[in-house]
Amino acid sequence: MIIAIDGPAGSGKSTVAKLVAEKLGFHYLDTGAMYRAVAFRALVDGVRLTDEERVGLIAENCEVSFAHDEGEALPTRVFIDGQDVTAAIRAPQVDDAVSAVASLQRVRAAMVKQQRRIGAQDDIVIEGRDIGTVVFPDAELKVFLTASPEERSRRRAAQQAAQGVLVDPAGVRDAIDKRDLADSTRQIAPLTPAPDARVIDTTGLSLDEVVARVVAYIEVWRP
């Protein structure tokens, strides 16, 4: 069974997807980490982010893989061609670069191919922007999480502060707004709910409430 969880930045996708996967004992795939890894490699190699030929070659020739930390239930360590980039892909430079890279057709085709291969494992929660619409349109359950822009930037700022990053709330809001605009207006696989997605507005809901709703959808589907 595939559970697709899509939504914009700060909607709670990652946290909810991980908790649902843990609760159900499902595999877990963070597709955003894959685009981030390609963006990171393009930055390190000094490739112009709009150069589809060169960024496309990176995406087509790399392997993004995941591993478990010791004692962790889910594979949250991220590697590109064996290099551990778990922390590096969360840098603000990658935040700023990733949407441009993710808008390129060749990059998306290469990532979707890897995602479909990984997603062929039987029970899995996959989070992203286009999982229910493009990557796995036949997913048994599709969830689209939203939240107000204020709430989403508040959550992202709190997340960064918890990681010890010095946070400028206006800057966080601006970065999220820019990325959302780019992700929702791009020509290929824009961020949008699948027609058959269950949309949950998480503004004002606790994490437990959101997870409980997702799990309830699954129980209806799989009594």
In Å, how far are 136, 160, 179 from 78, measured between CA atoms? Answer: 22, 19, 22
Q: Which stretch binds ligand CDP (CB under 6 A): 19-27, 28-36, 66-74, 136-144?
A: 28-36
Pick the closest to residue 103 from 124, 138, 79, 129 (CA basis): 129
Quick one: 190 or 215, whose CB is closer to ligand CDP?
190
Q: Which ranges constitute the DSSP H helices of the chain?
A: 13-24, 31-44, 52-61, 92-102, 105-119, 149-162, 169-185, 207-221
142 belongs to the binding site for ligand CDP (CB under 6 A): no
Q: Which residue is nearest to ligand CDP (CB)?
A: 32
18 belongs to the binding site for ligand CDP (CB under 6 A): no
133 belongs to the binding site for ligand CDP (CB under 6 A): no
Quick one: 120 or 220, whose CB is closer to ligand CDP?
120
What binding mask, one character per residue, do residues 159-198 give for ligand CDP by CB under 6 A, x or -? --------------------x---x---------------
Helix or strand or coil: residue 7? coil
Quick one: 98 or 211, whose CB is closer to ligand CDP?
98
Q: How many residues bind ligand CDP (CB under 6 A)?
A: 17
In whole angstroms, give the CA distance from residue 107 to residue 130: 14
Helix or strand or coil: residue 125? strand
Q: Which residue in the set 102, 145, 194, 210 belongs to the binding site for ligand CDP (CB under 6 A)? A: 102
151 belongs to the binding site for ligand CDP (CB under 6 A): no
Identify the residue whose tokens are 């393009």: 42
Q: Which residue in the set 4, 29, 62, 98 belongs to the binding site for ligand CDP (CB under 6 A)? A: 98
Beta carbons within 8 Å of 110's beta carbon, 6+ residues apart: 56, 59, 60
* β-bridge mates for residue 143, sequence order: 5, 198
Interface residue list for ligand CDP (CB under 6 A):
9, 13-14, 31-33, 35-36, 98-99, 102, 128-131, 179, 183
